[in-house]
A and B are shown apart, each in its own frame.
Chain A
Amino acid sequence: MINSFLGFKPDRSLYPKTNAEGKLEIDLSSHQYTKLWLGPNHPGVTGNMAMELTLNGDEIVEGKTHVGYLHRGFEKLIERRLFVQGFPTSIRMCVAEPDTNEYLIAACTEELSGYDKQVPEMAKWLRMLSLEMARLQGLLRGVPGQAGTFSLGIGVQWGTYLRDLILDRFEELTGARVYHMYIIPGGVRGLLPDGFKDRMEDNLKEIDQFIIKIRKLIFNNAVFKTRAVGLGVITPKMVDQYGIVGTNARAAGVKRDVRKDNPYLFYDLLDFDPPTATEGDVYARTWVRWQELIQTVDLIRQIMAKMPEKGEIRAQMPNVLNWRIPQGETYVKLESGRGEYGLYYVTDGSDKPRRVNLRGPSYTHGIALLEDMLVNTNIADVHALMVSLQVCPPEIER
């Protein structure tokens, strides 16, 4: 679409031929193609990931992703740790939205040990609050960050400042800025501090201002429109083929939201409707995320209004040092800012899990989908694509 807009018609005769199996036949020694490695050391790549691009001019004919630069072997390490020790380890699986991991570890262990009914109500509200705050800070990075990939830096400057305000609230509530370690099996680790809601409301007001400004800055911007419209289109058919979830699916018109489909915590008490779009391109995805930003602010307000003032924060659980969970397996999922985020958890009756497998949305978005979407795009659009799919490498390789 963008190419036709600029009146540019690529010469398809230069493209590599495909063989009988449908694979590209690229002969590098023919001097027709260039191999370019993008990342891992590259400021535009989110996280630490490499893409091996085969170029024809500046157009990509083949893209291969290379992950593993952030591999720490979490799933192996958690197998060596007690159930309660799993959550400080697991949250480091994704630095962009760590709270989701805490919740999943807690929910899986509670479900398998039969304590899920005993989690106090207050703890559930506080879990929801911290999850929504995590989504908010993720979106405050993500929405302006999309414009940042087209070299529009001012939104990033604002967004990072506002995200920092949310991190200050996190610090008050949980005791840490980024790795909160707040949701623990059985409940949470603290009540709201005095005056938290007022300070949060002040921050939310600032974010309201920002939301309006960002609309003028990004969505009514000639550069952004020209480059984002028509880039990286996801069709509704692709959603199931690739396992696309979250905002990426919703921007393609497929309404998938775990908070609505399989409500967890008290999400069915909140009044919201996940935003959708139909175009499925980078512009639509950013637009959906921007609307979700509005919605998340609203959800935080709803949660703060509906939650009780005081209450128990943790159920009485077995001694953490002796805690054993009977044999079983489960899959618990939640809606993170990037989409369905799930944990497959297997126990074998000992005091440590048998297997923990994280299913992050980036796993499919960042490898299979991204590789196919890179073809026929321009080098300059690679980062835009990557950010628009919200690829978070640490959750791919774990």
Chain B
Amino acid sequence: MNIKDIFTPFTVWSSVLKDPVTIKNPIGREAAPRYRGFHYNDINACIGCGTCEAICENQAIDLVPVEGIVTKSGDSGLRPMVDYGRCCWCALCVDICTTASLRLTNAYTWVDTDPDNFRFIPGVDKKDWDEVQLGWRKPEPNYSFYGLHRQHMGELHAEDRKSSFIEFVQGYSKEQAQQEADRCVSCGICVATCPAHMGIPEYIKAIRNDDMEEGMRILYETNPLPEICGRICTHKCEDVCSIGHHGDPLSIRWLKRYIADQIPTDVNTYQDILGTGNLAKNGKKIAIVGSGPSGLSAAHYLALLGYSITVFEKLPAAGGMMRYGIPEYRLPYDQIDKDINYIASLGVEFKYNITVGKDITLDQLSKDFDAVFSGTGLHLGRSTRIPGSDNENVYQSVDLLRDIVTGKPVPVMPKVVVIGGGNVAMDITRSMARLQMEKYGKVDVLATSLEDEDFMPADREEIVEAREEGCTIVPGYGPQEVVLENGKLKGLKVWKCLSIFDENKAFNPKFDSAQERIFEADMVIESIGQGMDLSYLTEEIKSKIEFNNRGRIVVDADYQAKGLPWLFVGGDIIEGPDVIHGIANGHRAAMGIDRFLNG
């Protein structure tokens, strides 16, 4: 120490002349633009998926029902409620929010005397900071808590696949399936939308755990046709998938197929896994008319309950539309057999080539059996009834598709026009392309639909794949006339479609005749929907049951026909064409039959 040390510290007095650094008005000073302050939720964008609740390490978030928000498909009707007695403002909830509706504003002042007030539903309970735009949002880009992009599904190249009916979707490898399953946030929004209410998050979890047997058990809880569904389901679940709001939805259908594909074809393995090797019979007999998805589903669940089942099928093999309507390249026959063989192994008896109504009457069935389930499906093609549609070269898609399967000779011509924009239309378009490839070595199929490209009822990937295979899709035109020249088919005249439905939302298309086009064709295939063939119902039965304004049989929640207790009806003739609906109401009808017979 020396004398300097006593005087040097006094140099700090130089600061006396400096301006003070004090903030004049500190209360309410604006925080940084990225500040993590109080929560705000855009409740209209939020779907109540609950990932915020799942990620919150403090259990600060509850999902609560909110007045004015209706529970519907794709929206649970719940909204997050935040407890500021728990929150630590880490904003993990914001970073994981699937809809990006939740954010933190940069407001930070909340003083209260009552500790119970610190609990609120952001966006619903009005707060001072609702209008504040600054604050923490999900960082962009390349920052996500789950994979945004789905695993690419291996497919045959378009050039290869269009020349044969070999299945072109190759299925996931184990790594791919696990990575895809890893994307799932297990919110469960999809379960309500799936008609069969399959335990989707649970079986995806089984894939993550690489426990295929557990996955199989979960699948068979609600769906006895996993191989089939894993390929051709309309996957309504994927449309509402929460992670699909920003990024690709999870490919739930392919994951289901992955589980089913891992199990060997052997029915004994199935029975071991599912524990159905030793079923007790209860002595009651059920007849099932039609071996489509609903019939098979009802047969499966009734067989599990111990009923003796007999399935009557008009055609020489089981599967209904799945076998005779869906082309082999989408759903190979051995996969159909795999599912059906297992159902048969439960003691279900199949009687083929028996047409109910012709070979055996429904009344007879009602006498021989305790109950009858009818799932006869939609097998009649609907005609456009435009001029010239009675020409011999105008065909129905369902007939052609069935003929392709049964091996009947199918007329294939160099230029084909398909009318329709649904999945069946795409099926026939692509099947015809393959047949043309076989016969002529080139593809010339054109499909036209009333709907615009964005509203075509067919699955998006079907349209894309059809185009890849060389087919032409021209959406937005309505057929007006089949152009004939000397009785020989020359083409199809179409007008631009302006609108499909009128003000009352009734089907009433409007056309612009100025925008006329003629598609040249040698054959025209109509694929605008199918109708049901209820000719097996006798007049007596028809008089007992009721029909609604669309001509469908009226059933109750158990799919029991109104007025005829022993008759249960399900499948496409109730719900319209969709395999998963058929499976769902086959299951419900089975439960209904059980309730009906056992009280």
Contacts and interface: CB of A to CB of B under 8 A. Distances in A.
Do A and B share a complex?
yes
B547 interface: no
Interface stretch (B85-93, B340-348, B373-381, B481-489): B85-93
A316 B34 CA distance: 23
A82 B51 CA distance: 14
B97 to A, nearest CB: 13
A89 B60 CA distance: 14
A78 B50 CA distance: 22
Interface string B35-56: 1100000000000000100110
Interface string A130-169: 0000000000000000000000001000000100000010
B139 interface: yes
Interface string B80-123: 00000000111110011000000010000000000000000000
B54 A189 contact: no
Interface in A160-213: 161, 168, 171-176, 179, 181, 187, 189-191, 193, 213
Given A85-B92, A181-B91, A189-B139, A320 B146 contact: yes
Contact of A319 (B92, B139, B142, B184): B184
B1 interface: yes
Interface stretch (A219-227, A242-250, A373-381): A219-227
B182 interface: yes
Contacts of B186: 321-322
B57 A171 contact: no
A216 B9 contact: yes
B358 interface: no
Interface in B140-178: 142-147
Contacts of B21: 161
Interface string B47-83: 0000100110100000000000000000000000000
Contact of B32 (A84, A172, A316, A319): A172
B92 A225 contact: no
B37 to A, nearest CB: 9
A113 to B, nearest CB: 13
Contacts of B1: 222, 225-226
B124 to A, nearest CB: 24
A193 B33 CA distance: 9
Contacts of B89: 176, 179
A154 B12 contact: yes
Given A88-B90, A179-B88, A216-B8, A171 B32 contact: yes
A313 interface: yes
A176 B146 contact: no
B34 A175 contact: yes
A111 B185 CA distance: 24
A172 B32 CA distance: 5
Contacts of A213: 11-12, 15
B254 interface: no
B257 interface: no
Nearest to B205: A322
Contact of A222 (B5, B90, B96): B5
B208 interface: yes
B182 A318 contact: yes
Nearest to B181: A322
A81 interface: yes
Contacts of A168: 32
Nearest to A80: B57
Given A181-B90, A189-B139, A193-B34, A220 B57 contact: no
Main secondary structure of the interface of A (DSSP, over half): loop
A191 B5 CA distance: 46
A151 B424 CA distance: 87
B136 interface: yes
Nearest to B56: A85
Interface residues of B, number: 43
Interface residues of A, number: 40
Interface string A346-366: 000000000000000000000
Contacts of B182: 318-319, 322
A320 B55 contact: yes
Most chain B CB atoms below 10 A, which of A89, A191, A217, A321: A321
A175 B135 CA distance: 8
B31 interface: yes
Given A84-B55, A89-B57, A171-B31, A319 B9 contact: no
Contacts of A217: 8-9, 11-12
A220 B145 contact: no
Contacts of B104: 175
A273 interface: no
A312 interface: yes
Nearest to A88: B90
A314 B140 CA distance: 10
Nearest to A194: B33
Nearest to B146: A319
B143 A313 contact: yes
Interface string A21-38: 000000000000000000
A88 B12 contact: no
B6 interface: yes
A321 B32 contact: no
A172 B147 CA distance: 28
Interface in A44-80: none
Nearest to B22: A161
Contact of B35 (A81, A161, A171): A171
A190 B90 contact: no
Contacts of A316: 142, 144, 147
Interface string B511-536: 00000000000000000000000000
A372 B382 CA distance: 96
A322 B32 contact: no
Contact of A221 (B8, B54, B142): B8
Contact of B142 (A81, A313, A322): A313
Interface string B297-341: 000000000000000000000000000000000000000000000
Nearest to B23: A164
Contacts of B6: 222
B422 to A, nearest CB: 35
Most chain A CB atoms below 10 A, which of B8, B11, B89: B8
A190 B208 contact: no
A313 B184 contact: no
B146 A88 contact: no
B509 to A, nearest CB: 46
Contacts of A174: 34
A89 B58 CA distance: 9
B353 to A, nearest CB: 50
Most chain A CB atoms below 10 A, which of B5, B21, B32, B33: B32
A213 B57 CA distance: 45
A189 to B, nearest CB: 6
A322 B208 contact: yes
Contacts of A190: 34, 139
Contacts of B57: 81-82, 85, 88-89
Given A168-B32, A216-B11, A322-B184, A85 B55 contact: yes
Contacts of B54: 321
A220 B8 contact: yes
Contacts of B139: 189-191, 313-314
23 contacts: A82-B55, A84-B55, A85-B55, A85-B92, A87-B90, A171-B32, A171-B35, A172-B34, A173-B34, A175-B34, A176-B36, A176-B89, A179-B88, A189-B143, A213-B11, A216-B8, A216-B11, A222-B1, A222-B5, A222-B9, A313-B143, A316-B144, A319-B145
Given A176-B36, A314-B142, A321-B146, 13 more contacts: A154-B12, A172-B33, A175-B136, A179-B88, A187-B143, A213-B15, A216-B12, A220-B4, A226-B1, A316-B144, A319-B146, A321-B54, A321-B145
Interface of A: 81-82, 84-85, 87-89, 154, 161, 168, 171-176, 179, 181, 187, 189-191, 193, 213, 216-217, 220-222, 225-226, 312-314, 316, 318-322
The 5 closest A-B pairs by CB, nearest first: A85-B57, A88-B90, A220-B8, A319-B146, A222-B5
